Amino acid sequence: MKRTKEYYIQEARRHISNAREILRKYVAIAGHVAYRGVLIALNELMKQHGILKKTRKQVDDYRDFIAKIDRKILNYFNAAYNILHLDMGYDGIGDYELAKIGLQKAEEIIDWVEKKLK
């Protein structure tokens, strides 16, 4: 069976579509992993401050905790949450500059936690 040019164009577009799906999954994984790193650091600091919640913490638990200590870091946390968790993690937005900002905010939060830990 001889294939037409339409077949090859359709096949090429299918591959591009598959590539986009694969990229979205890896972007989502990267966003979730980075955000989890922020939560691991914050959980340790919260534990040091006597906050031992046995159930899963909500984003507002972290916001309330950080707001009492450092409003600047709260802004970083909100940016990391929006970029890493929502934009990358759920929406699969793979913009390089956006990801770079999210990772930078995450590192700044972790550095801040490291200084606060006894």
Q: Output the domain CATH number for residue 40.
A: 1.20.120.330
pLDDT band of residue 50 (cuts 50, 70, 90) is very high
> Each residue of 59-117: pLDDT tens digit?
999 999 999 999 999 999 999 999 999 999 999 898 889 999 999 999 999 999 999 99
Nearest to 73 by CA among 82, 59, 62: 62
Q: What is the pTM of this model?
A: 0.85
Q: Considering its fold, how many domains does the chain have in total?
A: 1
| Owning domain of residue 9 | 5-116
Strands in the chain per DSSP E: none
Looking at residue 20, its pLDDT comes to 85
Looking at residue 33, its pLDDT comes to 94
On whether the CB atoms of residues 89 and 32 are closer than 8 A, the answer is yes
